[in-house]
Each structure stands twice: as C-alpha cells, then as structure tokens.
C-alpha cells in the first residue's frame, strides 16, 4: 500500500447479540455467528463526525545485568486492548438504550425501565472511505458497545459518543486496506 494523505469518512453499524439475521443464511447473532454486511437488521449508528481507534498494550520489561547495571533486554507484551470511539451526530433508539441502559427498544413496546438492561454486546461493522469515495478499510469485530458520557440536550445537535471495547474473537477481521 502506498502512503498518501487521506481524509477518511467513517460509517458504523451495530448488530446486537441475540438478534435474528437472514444473510448470509438465517441465524441469530452471537459470539460465533456474524451477520452478513448487507443484512437489513443492522442498526446504523448514523452520521459519525469522528472515530478514534486506539490500541493499548500492557508491557513488562525484562532487565538483565550488563555487567552490573541492569539494562532493558526485552519487553514482553502481556495484555492487548483495542477501543473504537465513535462520535455520532444523530440520536437513535440505540443511543437512548445505551445511555439509559434499557432493554432493546423495539416496535410495540411503549415503556422501558432505566438501568433495566445491560451493556450491549454484539458485532460492529466499521467501514472507512477516503476522500475519493473509495472503500479504504472494513472492520468486523465482536465488542461491548456503551455510551461514553452524557447526551446533552439544548440548542445544539444532540450527540452521543459510543465506545466499542473489542473483545477477542476468531471471527474478528479487518479486510486488507485498498491499494492506491
């Protein structure tokens, strides 16, 4: 892949654990079953003004005398973490569910109990396009999706920020970035 300056447009959809899907074949989303990218049951997170992908690694240095003073000889990586923070300029049922921690908000149910649900787990489909509208990157990860901070209501756009804590899963994948 060639290096080049890029402006990236971000898109994200979420598919909660336990929701039925029809593509690529009928099934129910869970840690072992990833819905197809074009399945109509994905929940679009809306307009994303900013996305931050942050890896974190916990490390343990190995020190050895050389000859008497200790010098760093190696660094062992003991823990890996990846978080994706998504700043959304639109508010949806999913946002209300995440902030108030209700059960899934569905058609036909009028009331929900605040703090009656749990942090969302499911699949995040994160796609990135460059300034030429070319697909640059596609990521599919099993994660915990939670609201990061408050929803502020006032004379500006109601925004919500989600944090996806990526959980280890053999089905997690990033498609090779597009060559330019």
What mean pLDDT value characterizes the chain?
Answer: 94
Report how far apart, in Å, the C-alpha atoms of 41 and of each of 17, 53, 64, 72, 73 are.
12, 25, 55, 51, 51
Contact 55, 84 (CB under 8 A): no
Domain boundaries, the chain: 9-175
pLDDT, mean of residues 30-43? 98
Higher pLDDT, 6 or 80: 80
Higher pLDDT, 156 or 15: 15
pLDDT band at 1 (very low <50, low <70, confident <90, very high): low
pLDDT, mean of residues 59-73? 96
Which CATH number does the domain 9-175 belong to among 2.40.128, 2.30.110, 2.40.440, 3.10.20?
Answer: 2.30.110
């Amino acid at each position: 892949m060639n290096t080049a300056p890029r402006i990236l447009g971000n898109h994200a959809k979420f598919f909660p654990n336990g929701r039925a899907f029809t593509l690529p074949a009928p099934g129910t989303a869970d840690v072992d079953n990833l819905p197809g990218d074009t399945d109509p049951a994905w929940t679009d997170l809306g307009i994303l003004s900013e996305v931050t992908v942050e890896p974190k690694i916990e490390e343990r240095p190995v020190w050895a005398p050389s000859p008497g003073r200790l010098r760093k000889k190696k660094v062992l990586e003991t823990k890996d973490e990846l978080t994706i923070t998504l700043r959304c300029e639109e508010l949806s049922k999913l946002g209300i569910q995440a902030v108030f921690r209700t059960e899934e908000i569905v058609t036909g149910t009028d009331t929900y109990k605040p703090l009656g649900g749990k942090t969302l787990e499911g699949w995040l489909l994160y796609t990135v396009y460059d300034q030429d509208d070319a697909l640059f990157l596609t990521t599919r990860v099993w994660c915990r999706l939670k609201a990061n901070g408050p929803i502020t209501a006032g004379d500006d756009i109601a925004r919500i920020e989600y944090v996806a804590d990526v959980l280890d899963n053999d089905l997690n994948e990033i498609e090779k970035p597009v060559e330019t």
